[in-house]
Amino acid sequence: MEDRERVAVAIAAAQETKAEDIVLFDMQSRSPITDYVLICSGRSQAHVRGISERIETEMRKVGFRNTSMEGYQEGSWVLMDYDVVLVHVFHPDTRAYYDLESLLQDFPSERIEGEGPSPSPDDDRADSAA
């Protein structure tokens, strides 16, 4: 399996679990650490953990194991290292605070469509009022 196919497995798993604001950075030209960085968000700590679990499960199915996973228990920022791709799954508040995208802004990037539209805060209030 090629490196980009490995990344595609992680992206598909994020999409299937309705990860939001998925961004892929291509680091190949200037990073000795990794070829790609995938960043996405979950709506809650449980959602962050669920996205991370799905990515891990799908990557294992195709024979890739992470060399490191950090932050799973806390659920605000999970980092998974698959050598070729570093996957960051954030809670939105944590993602905004650390703002990795601004650190990576000089690298080529692409926004990836999620599985479905992100619910707006108004949608959440309407559901809880029903």
Total residues belonging to the chain: 130
* pLDDT band at residue 1 using 50, 70 and 90 as cut-offs: low
Mean pLDDT across the chain, nearest whole number?
Answer: 87
Query: How many whole angstroms separate alpha carbon 75 and alpha carbon 17?
Result: 15
3-state secondary structure of 11: helix
pLDDT over 80 at 96, yes or no: yes
For the stretch 35-91, pLDDT in tens is 999 999 999 999 999 999 999 999 999 988 888 899 999 999 999 999 899 999 999
Enumerate the β-bridge partners of residue 78. Answer: 89
Architecture of domain 3-129: 2-Layer Sandwich (3.30)
Q: 58 phi and psi, to 5 degrees?
A: -70, -35
Q: Report domain extents, the chain.
A: 3-129
Q: Any alpha helices (H) in 17-112, and if so which ranges?
A: 45-61, 92-98, 100-103
Helix (H, G, I), strand (E, B) or coil at 93: helix
Tokens of 54: 């799905």
